[in-house]
Chain A
Amino acid sequence: MTRAADDDEHLVARAQAGDRDAFDQLAERHSTRLRRVLFRITRDCDAAYDAVQEALLRAWKNIGRFEGRSQFSTWLTRIAINEAYRGLHRPVEEPLELSDHVGERIASWGSRPDEIFETREFLAAIDRALGELPLDYRTAVTLRDVEGLSTAEAAEILGIGERALKSRVHRGRMALRAKLDDYFKSGYV
């Protein structure tokens, strides 16, 4: 277990005993990441903010039902994504029950000002294309590639099998690649 997960475990135990300060520490630790994930999914700052607040409230109310079968961050992210989907008026898939050897990294893309500009422009193009993906694909790609979660973690958060998660990630990546085709042809990247 990672140090962060270990720390979470202690804070969760205190929160389950009614310690609000412990829960506030958990909320502070995870809320920035959650807002980032939800913004990528909803593409709306206010919706992301509201969904995180709702998720934290729901998590606090249900902390007693968290059994530790998954990591706290996984459980909380699942609640938050369900809240975001609810805000988008989309039925959730499942009611809330309460390699990295890929290519070149950004640092290797160059350090000249024009290269940095082109890289930023490319990232902006990717971000725009991500926002145009169907919600299922966008969520899967955000968790797996942008947030860097493992297939198992992302599948657990979404309450789907690993095979289904991989399929969504692959379809999402291929759709993004097609959307970025002009960019690739331009020779920018």
Chain B
Amino acid sequence: MTPTLNPMRRHREHCRHVREQLSDYLDGDLDTAQADAVTRHTRFCPNCRRMLTNLTRTVSGLRALGDSDAATGTSRAHD
């Protein structure tokens, strides 16, 4: 008989799988089914949703860092 995975353990496994995909999700590199699965999971899992929100802010901040450099022509290195 196949042992049934404890629901909490199954949830954690799912969380781990989703978290591995978050960058691809943000970059639009997942296929539709995978992206839908991440959307569904983050809608119901508060921890993964918070992680996705904060990862989104982090990536937006990195891009803003590049934008602010480009806008001011800053290289901070002997310009």
Contacts and interface: CB of A to CB of B under 8 A. Distances in A.
20 contacts: A33-B75, A39-B75, A39-B77, A45-B78, A52-B77, A99-B28, A102-B63, A105-B64, A106-B68, A123-B65, A126-B61, A127-B65, A166-B23, A169-B23, A173-B23, A173-B55, A173-B59, A174-B23, A180-B61, A181-B54
Given A102-B63, A127-B65, A173 B78 contact: no
Interface of A: 32-33, 35-36, 38-39, 45-46, 48-49, 52, 99, 101-106, 119, 122-123, 126-127, 130, 141, 145-148, 151, 166, 169-170, 173-174, 176-177, 180-181, 184, 189
Contacts of A127: 65
A174 B62 CA distance: 13
Nearest to B23: A170
Interface of B: 19-20, 22-24, 26-29, 51, 54-69, 73-79
Contact of A177 (B20, B29, B54, B69): B54
Given A102-B26, A123-B68, A184-B54, A48 B59 contact: no
A30 B18 CA distance: 39
Given A148-B66, A151-B27, 10 more contacts: A36-B77, A38-B77, A39-B77, A45-B76, A48-B75, A102-B59, A123-B68, A130-B65, A147-B66, A189-B57
B23 A148 contact: no
Contact of A146 (B55, B56, B63, B76): B63
4 A-B pairs with least C-beta separation: A99-B28, A106-B64, A145-B62, A103-B56
